[in-house]
Amino acid sequence: MLVKDHVGLKEYNTFGIEAACRQWITGDDADELLEFVTARALKPGEVFVLGGGSNVLFTADFPGVILRPAMKECAVAGENATEVLVRTGAGVPWDDFVRWAVERGLGGVENLSLIPGHVGATPVQNIGAYGVEVGERVARVEAIDMLRGQKVAIDAETCRFGYRDSIFKGEWKDRFIITHVTYRLSKNPCLRLEYKGVREEVERLGEPSLALVRQAIIRIREHKLPDVKQLPNAGSFFKNPVVETALASRLLESFPDMPLYPAGEGRAKLAAGWLIEQAGWKGRSIGEAAVHDRQALVLVNKGKATGTAILHLANEVKKGVFMKFGVWLEPEVTIL
Q: Which of 179, 182, 240, 301 binds ligand EPU (CB under 6 A)?
A: 240
Is 68 a known active-site residue?
no
Q: Where are the alpha helices (DSSP H) in 126-270?
A: 198-205, 210-224, 245-254
The answer to whether residue 219 forms part of the interface with ligand EPU (CB under 6 A) is no
- Tally Cβ neighbours within 10 Å of residue 320: 19
Work out whether the CA dihedral 145, 150, 154, 158 comes out positive or negative. Answer: negative
Is 332 a known active-site residue?
yes
Nearest Cα to Cα of residue 334 among 241, 235, 206: 235
Q: At what angle do helices 210-224 and 198-205 cross, to 10 degrees?
A: 120
Phi and psi at residue 148, to the nearest 5°: -95, -10
Minimum distance of ligand EPU from residue 58's CB (angstroms):
17
Binding-site size for ligand EPU (CB under 6 A) equals 17
Site for ligand EPU in 293-332 (CB under 6 A): 295-297, 332
Minimum distance of ligand EPU from residue 208's CB (angstroms):
18
Minimum distance of ligand EPU from residue 187's CB (angstroms):
25
Site stretch for ligand EPU (CB under 6 A), options 27-35, 80-88, 140-148, 234-242: 234-242
Is 164 a known active-site residue?
yes
The one catalytic residue among 68, 140, 164, 221: 164
Site for ligand EPU in 261-290 (CB under 6 A): 271, 273-274, 277, 282
The answer to whether residue 259 forms part of the interface with ligand EPU (CB under 6 A) is yes
* Distant-in-sequence, close-in-space partners of 113: CB < 8 Å, separation ≥ 6: 95, 98, 99, 102, 213, 214, 217, 218, 221
CA distance 66 to 23: 6
Nearer residue to ligand EPU within complex by CB, 240 or 301: 240
The answer to whether residue 94 forms part of the interface with ligand EPU (CB under 6 A) is no
Minimum distance of ligand EPU from residue 90's CB (angstroms):
19
CA distance 118 to 141: 14
Nearest Cα to Cα of residue 11 among 60, 50, 44: 50
The answer to whether residue 129 forms part of the interface with ligand EPU (CB under 6 A) is yes
Catalytic residues: 164, 236, 332
Q: Which residues bind ligand EPU (CB under 6 A)?
A: 129-130, 225, 235-236, 239-240, 259, 271, 273-274, 277, 282, 295-297, 332
